[in-house]
A and B are shown apart, each in its own frame.
Chain A
Amino acid sequence: MSRIIPIAVHTFKESVREKVLYSLVLFAILLMAAGILFGTISVGVNEIVLINLGLTAISVFGLLIAIFIGISLVWKELERRTIYNVLSRPVARWEFIIGKYLGLALTLLVNTAMMTAAFYIVLWWEMGRLGAGDLAPLEAIYFILLELALVVGLALLFSTISTPVLSAIFSFSLYLVGNLLDDLRDFGERSGSAAVGLLARGLALILPDFGAFSAISQAAHGQMIPAYRVLSNSLYALLYVTVLVSAAILIFEERELQ
């Protein structure tokens, strides 16, 4: 059990060395700062724009990092044969997978924290004050983190089966579809064929529901998210991540290391 920690720490350190990570974070921060200019070309939406832009940047760049690093998490170790260093030790395959997941999750947590700090600095700079009323974005950021946890799980799962390019495509596609589940369900209900309807409605229940986590617009209007929604989303994320990581473990347990 305790082998998970060295693997997680190692994965974290390795991810943090990725130069792309820094470029993306820097870009996100620049974008937030540019949000200050945004307010001057529009009317009356200064604070709203800053929050929308900042949170969108945190979400989008977090997504990019999660997918970019996630898709080669397992694949790289297999491809470069460094996996032998790990699995020849008393390390179970499931420990390897969970360690990898936690390492990347930690990386994203640190990134998001950095971007959140930058966000609040920009907000404070522009609005001249920072108070209890500015906590709403934190809730949205929490939801973003939950989303990222799911995306990392997806990327990890695909990383055990396919090459990085395919994994990236699948992960992005699932993220897209996961935001359109309501439409999928509507489509199923309105479809003429019973089989298609059943399939569509079934898929809408099984595929990851990313739409449930969107709270950026609410945060921009200073609305706090009701507690029950925070709880249910947290639970959903936990369960779904468990599903994804378990699937990855199942697949990896059968994998022969040529």
Chain B
Amino acid sequence: MSARPPIVVILTVALAGSVLLRGQIHRAALAAELEPVVYVRSGETLRRFSLGYEGLLADFYWTRAVQYFGRERLAGNSRFERLDALLRATVALDPHLLIAYRFGAIFLAEKPPAGAGRPDEALALIRRGIGANPGYWRLWQDLGFIYYWDLRDYRHAALAFEAGSRQPGAGVWMKTLAASVAAQGGELDTSRLLWTEVLREAGNDTIRRGALEHLGAIKAAQDITRINRALDLFCQQRGHPASQLKDLVQAGILAEQPTDPSGVPYVLGLDGKAALGPGSRINLDLAR
């Protein structure tokens, strides 16, 4: 009598059992937050034991960081606790992996839910990057950016842009930006300069979209200021406030019905000031 049928049955049962069990173990691990993210105590130790293959290992950790970031964002999780550790491991293995510094800093600095909202960690990362790659002007640009946007430290931002402008290959606008920040840090025009540059060299959709959103918000904010000035002018001329924005057009103060960058026309708010129209996709917070 052949031993085949019983052995096939045993094999199938065992395989099924192991698959089910694996699923269980995995779910339990997720629940207990024992995610299979490799945690690193010391980047230096890791580097030492890479036996000359630290470049590849760095790429591996960078990929982990990117995936971790993406996963947490999708889950709506705005804590990103392990991001800093992963990024530090990455740059410990490859101090010249510039993209890890740059994107990493963005991921860390951006306010939740887009990022971890930890500008101080982002600063530390960029500084580390500058330490390993002092001649790379873009890192100075990023440093200035964090100081400007996330910490509102316009003095240090100006210094960073200034230092960056002196590095080989620096964009000419860095000097302009440095001056501008020094003179009018916080002004919308300066901010627009900054974000325009970010948009121009954005190598990635996420960043491009973010820059566009910021620029849109800045434009909207500037538009609103302009419209409010127009409203004031109308009031001065006619002696009474306008009842709707169309009046400004009729009065010749505005050339046409103003619309925000998302295509939605501005409206006159109840407080007598210009506001975003309903359905606008602009988020004015991003202007600040």
Contact = CB atoms under 8 A, between A and B. Distances in A.
B56 interface: yes
8 contacts: A43-B204, A45-B63, A56-B53, A59-B53, A180-B48, A214-B51, A214-B52, A216-B52
B213 interface: no
B89 to A, nearest CB: 15
B55 interface: yes
Chain A contact residues: helix, strand, loop or mixed = helix
Interface in A48-67: 48-49, 51-53, 55-56, 59-60
A132 B39 CA distance: 39
Interface in A147-206: 175-176, 179-180, 182-183
B99 A44 contact: yes
**5 interchain residue pairs of minimum CB distance:** A214-B52, A217-B55, A42-B63, A52-B55, A44-B99
B74 to A, nearest CB: 15
Given A42-B59, A180-B48, 17 more contacts: A38-B59, A45-B63, A48-B59, A49-B56, A51-B55, A52-B58, A53-B59, A55-B55, A56-B53, A60-B53, A175-B51, A210-B52, A211-B52, A214-B51, A217-B54, A217-B58, A221-B96
Interface size range of chain A in the complex: 20 to 34
A220 B63 contact: no
A41 interface: yes
A44 B103 CA distance: 9
Contacts, number: 70
A143 to B, nearest CB: 9
B179 interface: no
Contacts of A45: 59, 62-63, 97, 99
B204 A52 contact: no
A43 B59 contact: no
B87 to A, nearest CB: 13
Contacts of B59: 38, 42, 45, 48-49, 52-53
Interface size range of chain B in the complex: 20 to 34
A38 B48 CA distance: 24
Contacts of B96: 217, 221
A101 interface: no
Contacts of B99: 43-45
A213 interface: yes
Contacts of B62: 42-43, 45
B151 interface: no
A48 B52 contact: no
B94 A217 contact: yes
A44 B138 CA distance: 15
Nearest to B63: A42
Given A41-B63, A44-B203, A45-B62, A216 B56 contact: yes
